[in-house]
Amino acid sequence: MLTIVVSNQKGGVGKTTTVANLGAALAARGCDVCLIDLDPQSHLTLHFNIEPDPPDVSIYDVLSGTARLVDARIAVQQNLSVVPAVIDLAAAEVELAATVGREQILRDALLAEPLGHQLVMIDCPPSLGLLTLNALAAADELFIPLQPHFLALQGLGKLLETVRLVQRRINPALRVAGVVLCMYETATRLAAEVVDDLRGFFDAARGSDCPWGATRIFRTVIRRNIKLAECPSHGETIFQYDPSSRGALDYGEMADEFVRYYPDLFPPKARAPAAPRPPVSASYNPAQAPPIAAWKPVRRPPLYNPAQAPPIVAPRPVRRPPLYNPAQAPPVAARRPAASAPCYNPAQPPAVVVPAAWRAAPGPRPVSAGAVPERSLS
């Protein structure tokens, strides 16, 4: 059994699309394939429209020790099974943090009860956390899907460094076997230049004992094709959804190339040589490849050169009519006096009520005896 992990800590580079469609194409060529979804986002599981949703047993149960890997498999097509994932898997990184040997749980599960498949492919989450470490520890080989962009290459050094650490400490057999170029823009020069850089780097390491001393860059590139983005929403592989699309053609050709690299995994009739494609970039000359000790992307002049940029014309303010135009303002109504009578009308003052006692005794107001204490002035 060969175990291949498909990993890149960058998201959206084509890991899941490659595992699903390359896996299906290899199964169609007669290899008995099992795909393991190790991403809590469960995109691979969704790709195959696995029922029930969520599945009863998933890779989370396997990692937490409550289920066997063989019981988590679901057959989805002839020669093709999937071990599904659920969102709970996100908690596994935390739950397993205190477990001794936490990076090797998947490897132990694979060793404990061999699945009996010829090929196991593991789809990883977009991180270099515990789940990816489990996949790297369990695998024989690593495939790295890459989008040929300058920035997409930046993370490659970090990934290779992690692979080197895992190889030294946990899994001495681990090898970077393949680079798969996904979402390839055939019309751009940048893609071909990035591929040249990659070839230079891997050729410089060829023959060394580092884990990427024998890495192949697949000659087949996966071109950008909207059908590949549409098929997961139908729960179908590209071969079911649109077998005549460019996506199906590319993954089919990649599967033929895979058969040439791993003929022992396939029945003899699948090994008929397919017509080779021309290399992605004819400009690359391995003899001139720069020796690279630690890989760094080649710096090229930026595509945007400020010295040649057209002058920036100062923006002119747009004149708009003011929101309030006094000339068109509605006339202000003259203030009308209040309809009610004023509270106090000096012409009609209210009658002053004088106490009867005052009226009876004219002169100063009488003061009751004892009301004011008499004080001696001395």
Chain positions contacting ligand ADP, by CB under 6 A: 11-17, 43, 126, 182-183, 222, 224-226, 228-229, 232
**Which H helix or E strand runs over 61?**
helix 59-63
Q: Name the pairing type of β-strands 80-83 and 74-77.
A: antiparallel
**CB of residue 35 to Mg ion, shortest distance in Å:** 12
**Residue 138 or 182: which CB sits closer to ligand ADP?**
182
- What distance in Å separates the CA atoms of residue 261 and residue 309, rounded to the nearest whole number? 48
**Residue 99 or 127: which CB sits closer to ligand ADP?**
127
Residue with tokens 């791993």: 262
**CB of residue 39 to Mg ion, shortest distance in Å:** 5
Partner interacting with residue 232 (select from Mg ion, ligand ADP, none; CB below 5-8 Å by kind): ligand ADP
359 class by beta-carbon count within 10 Å (0-12 exposed, 13-18 middle, 19+ buried): exposed
**CB of residue 63 to Mg ion, shortest distance in Å:** 18
- What distance in Å separates the CA atoms of residue 205 and residue 241, rounded to the nearest whole number? 40
Return all residues near 225 (Cβ < 8 A) that are at least 6 apart: 245, 246, 247, 250
Q: Which stretch binds Mg ion (CB under 5 A): 8-16, 144-152, 278-286, 358-366?
A: 8-16
Q: Is 175 in the site for Mg ion (CB under 5 A)?
A: no
- What distance in Å separates the CA atoms of residue 204 and residue 100, rounded to the nearest whole number? 38
Partner interacting with residue 13 (select from ligand ADP, Mg ion, none; CB below 5-8 Å by kind): ligand ADP
Binding mask 27-56 for Mg ion (x = CB under 5 A): ----------------x-------------
Question: Tokens at residue 237, please?
Answer: 């592989």
Q: Is 10 in the site for Mg ion (CB under 5 A)?
A: no
Partner interacting with residue 30 (select from ligand ADP, Mg ion, none; CB below 5-8 Å by kind): none
Q: Is 8 in the site for Mg ion (CB under 5 A)?
A: no
Residue nearest to Mg ion (CB): 16
User: Which among 109, 103, 96, 18 has a CA at the least distance from the CA of 67?
Assistant: 109
Cβ count within 10 A of residue 73: 18
**CB of residue 43 to Mg ion, shortest distance in Å:** 5
DSSP code at position 244: T
What is the contact surface with Mg ion in residues (CB under 5 A)? 15-16, 43
